[in-house]
Amino acid sequence: MGKKFFLSAVALVALAGWLVWRRAVQPPIQSGACAGCNLLLVTIDTLRTDRVGAFGGPANLTPTLDRLAAGGLVLTRAYASAPLTLPSHTSILTAVSPPVHGVRTNGLFRLGPKLPTLATVLKNAGYRTGAFVGAFVLDARFGLTRGFDVYDDRHGEKHAGDPAEGAERRAEDVIKPALAWINSSISQPPATSNQQPAPSPWFTWIHFYDPHEPYRAPEPFASRHQPYDAEVAYTDATIGTLFDGLRSAGQLDRTLVVVASDHGESLGEHGERTHGVFVYDVTMRVPWIIAGPHVHHGVNEALVRLIDLAPTTLDLLGIDPPAEFEGRSVINGGERTAYVEAMDANLTRNWAPLSGIVNGHSKLIDLPIPEMYDLSADPREMTNVHARDPARARVLESLLRDTATAQAARASSSERTTLNADARQRLQALGYVAASAGAGPRVYTDADDPKMLIGPAEDLNRALIAFRAGSRDEAMSAVRSIIQAHPGFTTSYGVLASMQRDTGDLKGAIALLETVVRRDIADQSTMVVLAGYLQEAGALQPAADLLEAVVAAHPDYADALNSLGVVYSRLGRHDRARRSFRKVLELDPTSAAAYENLGVDAMGAGDLQSAAGDLSRALELDPALARAHNALAAVYMRQHREDDAVAHWRTALTLDPTLYDALYNIGVSLWDSGRRTDAHPYLERFVHEAPPQRYAADIAHVQKLIAR
């Protein structure tokens, strides 16, 4: 009797297990279920998984996403490839990891032309394709435009006093052009026909940037929630408006909707204020929802990756994915191994490079001080078990090595980008360092580990904020303390040098950076900054020598080539200057900065026709180049085109009211041409606003003019 009971119990347990298995793998959606559907891809920047109700977040913060999830497939363990906007979105669209597509951080790379993307595949399949992005970090210059009929990256105009203006736009301003474009896909019947032709399906990618710092949600959200949560709630409400607009236009019934975050936000966890340095789950694990026709509610708890998003989407649309895709559809289930990396601190600050692997519920992070976490027992990753479980660590280390080898064999070449001052300022306004530190040392020690440097980096940020707020002495003292405690933290030397320069101590700034170079801890960006200071001090030949050394070691470093060309131009060596600028254009044919520099050099050489052509080309590529407007105005003035010159000077000052060269030029030019009433306001502003340490002689000259 007892034996019979035992067998019955086993049978019941087995049956229960079979039922659970069937429920877990029963697909809420089938391959090809949405064939011929439109596709709406919504990516929400910096959205933490724990802020979405359907993923265990608070009730009523994301009602739109929660309703979408209630009728769709919810993927609860999805991992981003990188905790940064551009690399992560590049992985989403190309379905390959960052080492394969080559875009390793924001601002420094552009996707090359070889890899297919979700947009190119759908375009070839007959889809109309449109992209509408919310921030400069996904600007067209970074290469995600391929395959899109429309790539709307308009971020608004920059305004003095708010560097973030022109770098991002609110969600509501993203959906307006997106809805207009989608609704334009409804074909009109020909005048001679009573039958309306079937419109081509559309693919629309909409990117919302709002949950990203700075958190500035509009009312009533700002009053109801903490700053980050307010941005999340506002974005969710705007997505609701988007869905309402599509529904009222009859565009939602045949549309597959895919919503995902590109990465999360740390909010102080692990010592990181925002994101980009580490690969803990708080920034790497992201919400992912699939909904639409023939999609039933289901929860997929398997480990999946954002590189699986494009092949999954194509699977549902009944379109074969290209062989180049690394990811694969999640429709047929199965766990993945997720490669993760955070290379920004290595590329911009010369910290140790960071990569890792997630396998099952174990995560390995490869750093000088290695980390391993049991994610099931320790979801907040507070206990490093690397030393405690060496056998498991070795397995993961081997898996990471094998993954890196396979990725290296498939790597596609990305392209380095060159950024003008305005573009660099826009990225910095979004919180991103926009200069490459170069490869750095080959061997990294514990002192280079991001865990050891994140605290000093946050202290450095606070010192910068204090300096800009007017507490200059206290801020500089704080930076000196950071240098004393962390003498290998190169970034702190650059910050202190910039503070010295801004307080009029250019000589001290040069001496400090020369010390860094002599100690052999200077990265290439530090040497380019030093060369700029030397140039500013009039030491042109030493600046040229330093830049030549940088270019010899890094022949594709566009910033150094641009700076070298400027120095040679000032030395009157115009042939060498033009060679440097042309090399930049070989690396990046869309470099507005290189064309601007070519134009300034041509003007210095007396070739006004070439100068006008190059400067005009620079402004075609980037109309917001205030200095290019200033230079073109000077060319027009020499060509006796006074009205055109004045118009460009006024544009330059609208774009950058602190461009004192333009202020001086327009005032003096108007004065010399007899338009002294028009000139007087500009000259008065120049006298009162221009920094005396840089413009002492010009201020004295203007004072004599207006005193007459």
pLDDT digits (tens, 9 = 90+) for 324-376: 999 999 997 778 999 999 999 988 888 999 999 999 999 999 999 999 999 99
Q: What type of residue is 495? A: V
Residue where the block lists tokens 């050891």: 452
> Is position 340 within any domain?
no
The residue out of 335, 353, 377 marking a domain boundary is: 335
Task: Note the pLDDT tens digit of each residue in 369-405.
Answer: 999 999 999 999 999 999 999 999 999 999 999 999 9
Q: What count of other Cβ atoms lies within 10 Å of the Cβ of residue 660?
A: 19
Domain CATH for 76: 3.40.720.10
| pTM assigned to the model | 0.80
Handedness of CA 270, 214, 225, 41 (dihedral sign): negative
> Is position 14 within any domain?
no
Q: What count of other Cβ atoms lies within 10 Å of the Cβ of residue 361?
A: 14
Query: CB of 542 within 8 A of CB of 564?
Result: no
The residue out of 287, 304, 335 marking a domain boundary is: 335
> Is position 389 within any domain?
no
Q: Do 511 and 612 lie in a common domain?
A: yes
Please tell me the distance from the alpha carbon of residue 653 to that of residue 627, in angstroms, as a whole number.
9
φ/ψ region of 307 (left if φ > 0, alpha if ψ in -120 to 50, else beta) reads alpha
The pLDDT-based confidence of 190 (bands split at 50, 70, 90) is very low
* Alpha carbon 633 to chain centroid, angstroms: 33
Q: Do 288 and 430 lie in a common domain?
A: no
> Is position 691 within any domain?
no
Task: Note the pLDDT tens digit of each residue in 234-273.
Answer: 999 999 999 999 999 999 999 999 999 999 999 999 999 9
Closest CA to 671 of 630, 626, 631, 701: 701
Q: Do 464 and 579 lie in a common domain?
A: yes
The residue out of 633, 653, 668 marking a domain boundary is: 633
Phi first, then psi, for residue 584 (nearest 5°) are: -60, -40
Give the residue, 569 or 193, on which the prediction is more confident: 569
pLDDT, residue 184, reads 86
Q: Do 324 and 429 lie in a common domain?
A: no
Q: Do 154 and 283 lie in a common domain?
A: yes
pLDDT, residue 11, reads 31
> Is position 644 within any domain?
no
E strands in 360-489 = 362-366, 371-374, 415-416
Query: CB of 594 within 8 A of CB of 577?
Result: no
Q: Do 616 and 494 lie in a common domain?
A: yes
Please tell me the distance from the alpha carbon of residue 357 to that of residue 364, in angstroms, as a whole number.
5
DSSP 322: P
> Is position 667 within any domain?
no
Residue 471 confidence (pLDDT) above 70: yes
pLDDT, residue 417, reads 63
pLDDT, residue 488, reads 82
Domain CATH for 444: 1.25.40.10
Closest CA to 73 of 19, 33, 20: 33
Q: Do 321 and 436 lie in a common domain?
A: no
Mean pLDDT, residues 2-31 taken together: 40
Residue 623 confidence (pLDDT) above 70: yes
Q: Do 451 and 331 lie in a common domain?
A: no
Helices marked H in 469-607: 472-485, 490-502, 506-518, 524-536, 540-553, 558-570, 574-587, 592-604
Residue 10 confidence (pLDDT) above 50: no
Please tell me the distance from the alpha carbon of residue 309 to that of residue 117, in angstroms, as a whole number.
11
> Is position 60 within any domain?
yes
Q: Do 328 and 427 lie in a common domain?
A: no
The pLDDT-based confidence of 2 (bands split at 50, 70, 90) is very low
Q: Do 427 and 331 lie in a common domain?
A: no
- The tokens describing 217, both together, are 């949600």
Percent of the chain with pLDDT strictly greater than 70: 88
- The tokens describing 444, both together, are 């990294």
Q: Do 92 and 207 lie in a common domain?
A: yes
- The tokens describing 610, both together, are 């070439």
Please tell me the distance from the alpha carbon of residue 181 to that of residue 158, in angstroms, as a whole number.
25
Q: How many domains does the chain have?
A: 2
Phi first, then psi, for residue 626 (nearest 5°) are: -60, -40
For 442, half-sphere exposure in the C-beta direction (CA atoms, 13 angstrom radius) is: 0
pLDDT, residue 107, reads 82
> Is position 663 within any domain?
no
* Domain housing 570: 421-633
Q: Do 458 and 326 lie in a common domain?
A: no
pLDDT, residue 19, reads 26
pLDDT, residue 162, reads 42
